[in-house]
Chain A
Amino acid sequence: MVNTAIILIIAVFTILYLLPIYWMGITSFRPEAKSMSWPPNFSPTGLVMDNYRVVFEQKSIFWYIRNSLIASITSVIISLVIGCVTAFSFAFMRWKAKTKTSLLIWIISLRIMPPIAAAIPLFLIFARLRMIDTFPALILAYTFFNLSFVIWLVYGFFKELPREIVEAGLIDGCSYTKLFTRVVIPLTIPGIMTVTLLTFIASWNEFLFAVKLTAFSTRTIPVLISGFMIDRGLLWGQVSAVGLVSIIPVIIVALFIQRYIVSGLTFGAIK
């Protein structure tokens, strides 16, 4: 009985919780003139593709998706390669305990730094180098904030590996390269996949650097969305359509990373 009651409470809570996303979903399928009505209309009827036609054909949303994908994926790859190598050094090579701890804490404190504090000087530096509105600027900025996250999480996964496996590998005359590519990476691949997806999402959603470091040719999806609110008034149907398109990869990713989500959300502090 108690269980049924609790299930009922939680079910209602969950439905209420997802209502905002559902509402954005149906709004995106309503004609702009009917996108807002009183009382709010929750029924999934009278749905049309008008807004999607507009955002795909006139607002060239594909262009923004392409930009977001280029910036996010490149940055994820760079952060992963550099991050894994750094974590490998910290996890398997002989460091003085004190040096290692202070270096790792220093790395995490960079992530804690308010992004706005980095964004202003980076904007000025990239402007001076004439790199505003180029992919390298955006990718470098994303790599900087992804990297500390990758190092911490991957370091946590590496440290969990049984010492014997690693030491056995070294005694067998395994080079560090082999140890890294044949032993350590294959054993931690599920964790690394989670890190990959989380950094992808963080870059995909990033707004502050994107809005200042891009102008026309490299604008990403979040910048497009923010532009709806400021320049074009309240086109609820269209902005909902873009919003939904931007959420879809996120929902797919969320389904994949359930197993490692706690570790991923806490920088590996909780397993």
Chain B
Amino acid sequence: MIEKRLKYYLILPAFIIFLSLAIYPLFFALRGSFYIWRYGMPAQFVGLKNYIDLFKSSFAWNALQNTIIYVILAVFLELIIGLVLAVLMNRELGFFRPVVRTALTIPMFVSPIVVGIIWRMIYNPHYGLFNWLLGTQGFAPTGNEYALFFVVLADVWQWTPFMYVIILAALQSIPPEILEAGEIDGTTGWQKFIHITLPSISYAIIIALTLRFMDATKALDLIYTLTYGGPGGGTETIGFLIFRTAFNDLNIGSATSFALIFTIVMGILITRFLGWLNRRFEIV
């Protein structure tokens, strides 16, 4: 049976790529994480020391805390603003809606590196738009203890359209009969929204939240050009800390141990969640 084998041959190239570029490097990293290994110097086996140090490292806990705040705040704001926008735009607006949708689509596709630059200009304490809008001058949002919130703001700027586009599409695919049935039953606008509209778009919202959650957790490029993790680690996320440990401090052993724990935790969370999602909505 050639057909029986053909299906395996067809997926073989993809799996060779995955195995050689993801799985092999992971094992490579796993081995490296047991060594004190500064790039360019001989490695020294230390067992679990890197992992133990990690739990004692104040940098790691600080980055974890920053990442959690960043992700929750950014994704929450994006959801709320995106939802409000989508509900407002879900009506007959003629040519207006496609124009706005296209315009709002642009920030999503701009490289986070460029977004970081743009917002660095906006937050410039002497000439930036931010100070101008607030009517102040000299306030440096990326140089104070609230810097993390201003990084979140840049993320919200870039990614709110993502929520908006997905939620609007979901709103438009609700069959009108369902909403009309609600009107006949005499439900008010708000009740209709809570009991009919929201449940109908819950799947879209869950998918959008999942994807944003995943991407925000990995945030690195935006921070690289906007704050470079500063001031004093105030905007350092897990991704950025690993990057800095590996490529600035050249401390490969420590960085790989952190990266592995990060990957495993994320992997468990997400595959569990996808499994649940698949049982509930049959996505595959």
Interface set of A (CB-CB < 8 Å, partner B): 3, 6-7, 9-11, 13-14, 17-21, 23-24, 27, 36-40, 82-83, 85-86, 88-90, 93-95, 100-101, 103-105, 107-110, 112-125, 140-141, 143-144, 147-148, 151, 176, 201, 204-205, 207-208, 212, 222, 225-226, 228-230, 236, 239-240, 243, 246-247, 250-251, 253-255, 258, 261-262, 265-267, 269-270
Contact = CB atoms under 8 A, between A and B. Distances in A.
A66 B124 CA distance: 32
Interface in B147-174: 157, 162, 165-166, 169-170
Given A208-B243, A222-B111, A243-B114, A86 B121 contact: no
Contacts of B114: 24, 222, 225, 243, 246-247
Given A6-B88, A103-B11, A112-B214, 14 more contacts: A27-B121, A89-B10, A95-B7, A115-B220, A116-B218, A116-B246, A117-B29, A118-B25, A121-B25, A121-B29, A144-B18, A225-B225, A255-B102, A265-B165
B101 A258 contact: yes
Contact of B165 (A38, A101, A261): A261
A226 B17 contact: no
A114 B217 contact: yes
B132 to A, nearest CB: 5
Interface stretch (B44-52, B192-200, B269-277): B269-277
Interface of B: 3, 6-8, 10-11, 13-14, 17-18, 21-22, 24-26, 28-29, 32, 39, 85, 88-89, 91-93, 96, 98, 100-114, 116-122, 124, 126-129, 132, 137, 157, 162, 165-166, 169-170, 203-204, 207-208, 211, 214, 217-218, 220-221, 224-225, 228, 238-239, 242-243, 246-247, 252, 255-256, 259-260, 262-263, 266-267, 270-271, 274-275, 278, 283-284
Contacts of B166: 262, 265-266, 270
B109 to A, nearest CB: 4
Contacts of B32: 121, 124
A228 B224 CA distance: 12
A122 B23 CA distance: 11
B91 A147 contact: no
A266 B208 contact: yes
A20 B127 contact: no
A227 to B, nearest CB: 10
A185 B183 CA distance: 44
18 contacts: A10-B88, A17-B103, A36-B124, A37-B127, A38-B132, A86-B14, A100-B284, A110-B18, A115-B218, A116-B220, A117-B29, A121-B29, A143-B17, A144-B17, A144-B22, A147-B17, A207-B112, A229-B116
A267 B100 CA distance: 23
B14 A122 contact: no
Nearest to B18: A110
A112 B267 contact: yes
B87 to A, nearest CB: 10
B118 A207 contact: no
Nearest to B21: A144
A122 B121 contact: no
Given A10-B100, A93-B3, A104-B284, A117 B17 contact: no
B156 to A, nearest CB: 11
Given A222-B113, A261-B165, A265-B162, A6 B91 contact: yes
Contacts of A18: 103, 106
B112 A93 contact: no
- With most chain A CB atoms within 10 A of its CB, the pick from B22, B100, B204, B255 is B22
